[in-house]
Structure 1
Amino acid sequence: MTQARSAAVALEEATVAFRLAGGRVYTAVEKARLSVADGEFVAIVGPTGCGKSTLLNLAAGLLKPAGGAVRIFDRPLAGLNREAGYLFQADALFPWKTALENVAIGLDIAGTPRAEARERAQAWLASVGLASFGNRYPHMLSGGQRKRVGLAQVLIRNPKIILMDEPFGPLDAQTRQIMGNLLLDLWSDDRKAVLFVTHDLEEAIALADRVVIMSAGPAARIIGDWRVELPRPRDIFEVRLRHEFHELHREIWHMLKAEVAKGYAQAGAA
């Protein structure tokens, strides 16, 4: 009998609320229930402003739930999630540091000897296809190259959980597909739990084991959870041609489009 994988991230009826000017309370996310198994790749999709990033921030320990709980590997999360690495939509590279120094910074902070940190950083640059770019500063790199440096910067710390907030959003379509394949290659070598936020349903299906749908806010909820049965390993270019891909896309979009319409209507009425 196969033993069930433990939950790397578990949101248990988690609610997030903010106090606005005038004392009013805005509930961003209400009673979210989500479990991400160790080694599982879960993508979150939903309308703009529905709280997708809020769920990531809960898992990162950057937000404390107003109700419910967050558990990391079956332990209550108190403070920052030290098991997680977070790749943001915006570049988090220091402009005055080279690519090599940016990748090594997490090891430097942890007290790793300088020579060892630089050696490991160079190995990670090579793993993301930038072996000869270590002495370049961020302004000398393309958008895709900066994302590769950012990915290496997160992975060099060997986090057990990877949180990704629209990491490829600013990139052109071709570069996004290249980065998606790179991410899958790195993930398949040493599978971590991944929680990946995107607006792109095709990207979510192509990458993930499961696709989770959030409703329009306020008080956004998780309203759908689909398992992606497409075989691995996957190629982002090829998987979108499969009949099963289009069938799943059609099924999920049937629910998602209604929430997107609600989100736009609410934004127009605000």
Structure 2
Amino acid sequence: MLTVVAENGRTVAGAAPASEAIGLAGVEIAFRLADGRRFEAVAPTDLVVREGEFVAIVGPTGCGKSTLLNAAAGLLKPTSGTVRIFGRTLTGLNGEAGYLFQQDSLMPWKSVVDNVAIALTVSGTPRREARERAMGWLERVGLAAFADRYPHMLSGGQRKRVGLAQVLIRNPRLLLMDEPFGPLDAQTRVIMGDLLLELWSAERKAVMFVTHDLEEAIALSDRVVIMSAGPKARVIGDYAIPIPRPRAIADVRLDPHFHDIHREIWNALKEEVVKGYRQSNGLAP
């Protein structure tokens, strides 16, 4: 059975929870429009990601998934409410987090190894040591042979692997991921998903993962949180994923339990997706 809690984003069943890595308490996010009106993107929201937990957030386009992620990163200050990171109130940029964006942030004039090493050199690590450690990470993501190439010489999947190494080399305590595999083709997404699970399993960092792909969310995560369409988007469901680990993405999608889980979550999500689509096209709800 799935453990579900609607509306408040909390799971009520199961073992004693691990320590909190990310805690959103009454987080509301609103913007001032050019005409002076106030647009409430996210209604007051509670959400917890525990240490070692992989949580995926899904919802219709424009529902505030990335907005919540940016609040957890310290890139966006909530209008009201509190963001806690490992029990401490976040007041600036989240120095405990590694952030992997949908678009990579590789520097085109630097080689692959230097793109990874720069994550250390900017904080004072000697260049030689940084390059040595970067090579170690390139070996872990299967790109040691490409160390001296430049970003334009890589495929989309290879660039994503460099991006993963660039984030993980700093050894962040938690990972924030915003549609990181969105631009990739289906086969490459499977490969990247398996690589992410392999790297994640080694240290079990807390992960807050935003995606539009419900199949991807289920295959990767411990919990799937769904959000309503905006404005005033809110958490409307929180589903524990009981599929055992370790997992291989292709195998998970062939598991009969996967289809039951997908059906149950989609039944709760599809009305919000339709509503979001109609709103984005200027149609009546």
What fraction of aligned residue pairs are identical, expressed as a percent? 69
1:4 Cα deviation from its structure 2 partner? 3.6
Q: Could you tell me which of 108, 112, 130 is aligned with 1:117?
A: 130
Q: Could you tell me which of 186, 199, 206 is aligned with 1:173?
A: 186
Aligned to 1:85: 98
Aligned to 1:22: 35
Distance 1:220 1:178 in 2: 32
Secondary structure, counterpart of 1:31 in structure 2: strand
2:75 equivalent to 1:45: no
Distance 2:129 2:18 in 1: 33
Q: Could you tell me which of 105, 114, 120 is aligned with 1:101?
A: 114
Instruction: Specify the code of the residue in structure 2 equivalent to 1:97.
Output: K
2:63 equivalent to 1:11: no
Q: Could you tell me which of 224, 227, 245 is aligned with 1:214?
A: 227
Distance 1:21 1:4 in 2: 43
Q: Cα RMSD over matched residues?
A: 0.9
Instruction: Specify the code of the residue in structure 1 equivalent to 2:128.
Output: A
Q: Could you tell me which of 229, 233, 247 is aligned with 2:242?
A: 229
Where do 4+ consecutive residues of structure 1 move more than 3 Å?
Answer: none
Aligned to 1:266: 279
Distance 2:39 2:261 in 1: 34
Cα offsets for 1:43-94 (capped at 9, x unmatched): 0000001110001100000001101110001110010000000000001100
Aligned to 1:141: 154
Instruction: Specify the code of the residue in structure 2 equivalent to 1:13.
Output: G
The TM-score, its normalising length taken from structure 1, stands at 0.98
Aligned to 1:54: 67
- How do 1:66-81 residues align onto structure 2 when only pairs under 5 Å count? 66-81=79-94
Distance 2:129 2:71 in 1: 33
For structure 2, list consecutive stretches of 5 or more residues without a partner in the other structure: 1-14
Aligned to 2:176: 163
1:127 Cα deviation from its structure 2 partner? 0.2
Q: Could you tell me which of 259, 270, 273 is aligned with 1:257?
A: 270
The TM-score, its normalising length taken from structure 2, stands at 0.93
Distance 2:210 2:29 in 1: 17
Secondary structure, counterpart of 1:10 in structure 2: strand
- How do 1:185-196 residues align onto structure 2 when only pairs under 5 Å count? 185-196=198-209
Distance 1:138 1:114 in 2: 20
For structure 1, list consecutive stretches of 5 or more residues without a partner in the other structure: none
Distance 2:134 2:77 in 1: 33
Secondary structure, counterpart of 2:25 in structure 1: strand
